[in-house]
Amino acid sequence: MQKHKNAYPKKELYNALFIDTMIRLPIRKITAAKADQKSRDVYSYIFGYGSPFSFHTFEIPYVFNNAGTSVMGTILIDVEKDKKIAELMSEAWISFAKTGKPETALTGKWEAYTRESGAVMILDEKSFLTHHHDEALLKLLAPEYEW
């Protein structure tokens, strides 16, 4: 399934299917609806660190700069990499709380999400901004779904 590998090169198919059908579709719908309101900028991210093992809310210990405290972090992930990811997540959330924009020197340029741009930050060891990265996969998995 090439569309899966294009959208999530480090994730196993079963993990990507769960993430996309159970989490990503409704999140994308909410993100688009908030962006349509045009009252504030909307920023979207996918936490990719720990792949193929990361899951919904896996990033929360990192948000609070608690490197090595996640289940996967203490067992499977290099502690130094874990500390860098914790710093990245913590700084992004602090920046968002202070300024309304999560962009930091560690994230690089982070565009606001719009339906047209489909801007999503992939937060990982090498974070990057992408546009409509999983659209083809989502259309394949849920062709009737409206977002």
Phi–psi pair at 64, nearest 5 degrees: -95, 20
In 3D space, the residue among 79, 53, 54 whose CA is nearest the CA of residue 66 turns out to be 79
Cα–Cα distance, 109 to 121 (Å, whole number): 9
DSSP 3-state assignment of 100?
A: coil
| pLDDT given at position 4 | 52
5: Cβ contacts below 8 Å, ≥ 6 apart: none
Please calculate the CA angle 138-141-143 and round it to the nearest 5 degrees: 80
Show the low-confidence residues of the chain (pLDDT under 50): 73-74
| pLDDT given at position 5 | 58
Q: What is the domain partition of the chain in residue ranges?
A: 2-141
List the structure tokens of 9.
Answer: 């090169």
Cα–Cα distance, 50 to 58 (Å, whole number): 9
In 3D space, the residue among 93, 92, 78 whose CA is nearest the CA of residue 125 turns out to be 78
